[in-house]
Chains A and B, each alone.
Chain A
Amino acid sequence: MSIEFIYPEFEVIRNESRCIACRVCERQCANEVHSYDPERGIMVADESKCVNCHRCVALCPTRALKIVKSDCALRENANWPQSTINEIYKQASSGGVLLSSMGNPNPLPVYWDKILINASQVTNPSIDPLREPMETKVCLGKKKQEIRRDENGKLVCEMTPQLELSVPIMFSAMSYGSISYNAHASLARAATELGILYNTGEGGLHEDFYVYGANTIVQVASGRFGVHKDYLEAAAAVEIKMGQGAKPGIGGHLPGAKIVGDVSRTRMIPEGTDAISPAPHHDIYSIEDLRQLVYSLKEATEYKKPVIVKVAAVHNIAAIASGIARSGADIISIDGFRGGTGAAPTRIRNNVGIPIELALASVDQRLREEGIRDNVSLVVGGSIRSSADVVKAVALGADACYIGTAALIALGCHLCRTCHSGKCNWGIATQRPDLVKRLNPDIGSKRLINLVRAWQHEIKELMGGMGINSIEALRGNRLMLRGVGLNEKELQILGISHAGE
């Protein structure tokens, strides 16, 4: 062993008295941790390869396995935690940039958890969602327009294109390539059944999924992978991806190993080539260029589809959003710094961007101050973890939320954060056929439907408690929120009072 030896992070504990050596764990672990020792007639494990994805734990028929954090630790040091030291070992040995997956795991403030929701008492009745209608439907798109009448004085009821959602939740952009065919199939089918939308991400749209077009948002990112006329026409809306919360300021990188078969065809690039999307769109170096792309896409789709502009939450987000709201975009989507990713440089993921709660609050407020809030709808993501987060986001001013990680967890993701390895044991972030088939789209879509329906019930209950029977009356209704343990500045940015006030 050498200086770069890192003691395995996890230990595989096998209860020998339960283990029947059925070798299920061996077959299930794509990381090749488990193996059978025929001489001794027992299962053994090489825990150095274990990523703690719990696949073997969940499938072991005798519940003989558990994975625990290793207690073999370096001397404690608050300034030099073991993870930091290990990263230095890795870089000193490889000379490379560190890669990570999923959202920022560091203990930075989660503002959702410091915001509390109101309920009616005495002066105003709460409403029982089981007895009274409770509306969660929203329409996304530009609302501002002149009221026109025909010669008989009747309203001319023409509107700019709108997206209708039965509940203000959408599945956020995850490309085919970064996630599997079966994961996409699950998302597309669930979105259709639920009356919401899913998002193709930047990897194009597989021909099998054109039938779900009415519930699909197609993305146009800086690499322009898979973008062509039919692709744009198939969708309900087109999203221009300017940035992503997990890696603001940089493009995407899908390793050649994942660009196989259908993935390469769908992206319209040769098999085995790395799919590298540039950091900026090379035709957008400023806001006026964005306007041109927005209108090019509108021209291409005959002004029938809303155009979404997705940006990462960065320091100057309010001014950026104000520019976008004047660019002709119908919807702005903002991705917070805790948003997930299939692969991102660790330093960027952990240090760039700002929390979505603060970004949302300041954008919503700025657009109102400028009188242009109804030019656009606001969609936020990164990370929305529960129905309560949705309710808080809407009350802060969001029209709808994007969920990515939560949707993957519903599909079976165990947040092992090694999506970039391409060996997702749960059949999600992988292209290996033997792994992909572990995710059954019939079950996957059902679980997504269950999740969103459950959240919808909870949203209705929270709304009813506040005496609100339409989610539209909750949007931007910040009086319904109070902060706990927040300082003056944070409260001011969030535009809410402290609990007790």
Chain B
Amino acid sequence: MRLEGQVRIPSGCAIAAVISREGRKMSGELITNAMKPMHDRSNGLGGGFAGYGIYPEYKDFYALHMFFDSRESRKECEAFLKERFEIVKSENIPTRKTPAITDEPIIWRYFVTPLKSVLESMQLDEKEFVARTVMKINTGMKNSFVFSSGKNMGTFKAVGFPEDVSEFYRLEEYEGYCWTAHGRYPTNTPGWWGGAHPFTLLDWSIVHNGEISSYDANRRFIEMFGYKCTLKTDTEVITYIMDYLIRVKGLTLDEAANVVAAPFWSTIDSMEDEEEKKKQIFLRTLFPSLLVTGPFSIVLGFSGGLMALNDRLKLRSMVVGEKDDKVFIASEEAAIRTMEPNAENVWAPAGGEAVIVHVKDGCY
């Protein structure tokens, strides 16, 4: 049977996220508990988490989380990394044995910074360089896989139910100001760790529930700009779209949301605010191939904030709640109530309506 990446595998899912506007730290336990009432939305074939603010002592370094098939592949990849980066720390990601999680690959993390001389000779900015290096490893090195590459953030994922994945990675030992989580219900059994979510690139992480019908249109467009969709998942292509629109093209989060979940032409035509109308026409006309159709709810995490977004027909459930400095997002309200029984203002954002939360400046 072909593995994920060689074939496209549709899946259903559960997602959850929590963020503190004040930048207050929460342990990984909170988000883990949120996934428990949504157990039936996953089938044990993939779970994962992303935490922001978890590596304060290494916050100026890119944290590369990696899977290797063998010691040799790690050695080979390390040699490659050393040609491009200064590695300030290299270690096993601590895990705990649990019967629910088996067949683990070698799981490693590096804290790195790009070598100035290489950057200069390639005439690339730092982020572009890191992104391209990640792409190179994930497409070119068969037995090595980068599954997290941002600063002061990290992804943790495995084949298993989310709560077991959390136990495996000892997430209760990490503290972050923002967490996202994902439980997966793929329609066959690739059993590959890299295929679990969240999917990340640089600081971007995406958890996603849905199966987008625009996938190949989006993929074939975004691959023009140096991205390689190795996993053939929606999450991966949406991450690249966001990176391209925001980092490369310089759109704001709102504008990027208007591209991927664009308002209908009929809605645009009836807009009274001329400036808004012009903007929407501009975005739809310029980026038609990045419109995402079919059901999705996503939470996009980044340094200092997150954005939640539904497809424009709202074909997947997603609710938002608040309490004090915290904002909660989940596929089901039950997950929010598990994190905060007294959550207030619980509401379901409309299709295509982006919910954007920023942490106060200086608090992350």
**Contact A143 B215, beta carbon cutoff 8 Å:** no
Given A124-B213, A155-B255, A466-B213, A162:B285 Cβ within 8 A: yes
B211 lies within 8 A of A124 (CB): yes
Binds B, one of A86-94, A198-206, A213-221, A368-376: A368-376
Cα–Cα distance between A467 and B8 once the two chains are bound (Å) = 17
Interface stretch among B50-58, B168-176, B191-199, B290-298?
B290-298
Residue of A nearest to B316 (CB): A125
CB atoms of A479 and B10 under 8 A apart: no
User: Which of these, B8, B281, B287, B294, contacts A468 with CB under 8 Å?
Assistant: B294
In chain A, what residue has the closest Cβ to B288? A472
Task: Report the bound CA distance from A470 to B255 in whole Å.
Answer: 19
Question: B264 to A125, Cβ gap below 8 A?
Answer: no
Task: Flag if B292 contacts A133 (CB, 8 Å).
Answer: no
| Cβ-defined contact, A472 with B281, below 8 A | no
The answer to whether A475 and B289 have CB atoms under 8 Å apart is yes
B216 touches A479 (CB 8 A): yes
A124:B10 contact, CB within 8 angstroms: yes
Q: Does B221 interact with chain A (Cβ within 8 Å)?
A: yes
Dominant SS at the A interface?
loop
Roughly how many angstroms separate A137 CA and B218 CA in the complex, as a whole number? 18
In contact, A469 and B285 (Cβ under 8 angstroms): no
- B143: Cβ under 8 A from any A Cβ: no
Is A470 touching B220 in the complex (CB atoms < 8 A)? no
Check A135–B265 contact: CB distance below 8 A: yes
Interface size on B, residues (CB 8 A): 45
Which residues of chain A are near B214, meaning CB under 8 Å?
A: 468, 473-474, 477
Q: Provided the pairs A139-B288, A477-B217 are in contact, do residues A467 and B293 lie with their beta carbons within 8 angstroms?
A: yes
Query: Restricting to A471-493, which residues have a CB under 8 Å from any CB of B?
Result: 472-480
- Kindly provide the distance from the CB of B264 to the nearest chain A CB, expressed in whole angstroms: 5
> With an 8 A cutoff between CB atoms, is B315 at the interface?
yes
B residues within 8 A CB of A208? none
| CB 8 Å contact bits of B1-26 with A (1 = contact, 0 = none) | 00000001011100000000000000
Distance to closest chain A CB from B251 (angstroms)? 6
A139 touches B285 (CB 8 A): yes
Asked if A373 and B286 make an inter-chain contact with CB atoms under 8 angstroms apart, the answer reads no
Residue pair A469, B221 in contact (C-beta under 8 Å): no
CB of B97 within 8 Å of the partner chain: no
Partner of B293, one of A143, A372, A470: A470
In whole angstroms, what is the CA distance A135 to B313 when docked?
13
A3 at the interface (CB under 8 A from B): no
**Complex CA–CA separation, A470 to B220 (angstroms):** 17
Judging by beta carbons under 8 Å apart, are A477 and B10 in contact? no
Q: Pick the contact of B282 from A137, A157, A475 — CB < 8 Å?
A: A157
* Chain B contacts for A397, CB-based, 8 A: 220
Is B279 an interface residue when CB atoms closer than 8 A count as contact? yes
Expressed in whole angstroms, the Cα–Cα distance for A123 and B285 within the complex equals 30
Q: Is there contact, CB below 8 Å, between B220 and A469? A: no
Kindly state whether residue B342 has any CB partner on chain A within 8 Å. no
Contacts of A135 in B (CB 8 A): 264-265
- CB proximity of A77 to chain B, nearest CB, Å: 48
Whether B292 pairs with A473 at a CB distance below 8 angstroms is yes
Within 8 A of B (CB), among A124-168: 124-125, 127, 132-133, 135, 137-139, 143, 145, 147, 149, 154-155, 157, 159, 162
19 A-B pairs (CB sep. < 8 Å): A123-B10, A123-B211, A125-B295, A138-B288, A139-B288, A143-B285, A143-B287, A154-B275, A155-B282, A159-B282, A159-B286, A368-B220, A371-B224, A468-B214, A469-B313, A472-B289, A473-B214, A473-B291, A476-B220
Q: Which residues of B contact A (CB under 8 A)?
A: 8, 10-12, 187, 210-211, 213-218, 220-221, 223-225, 249-251, 255, 262, 264-266, 275, 278-279, 281-282, 284-289, 291-295, 312-313, 315
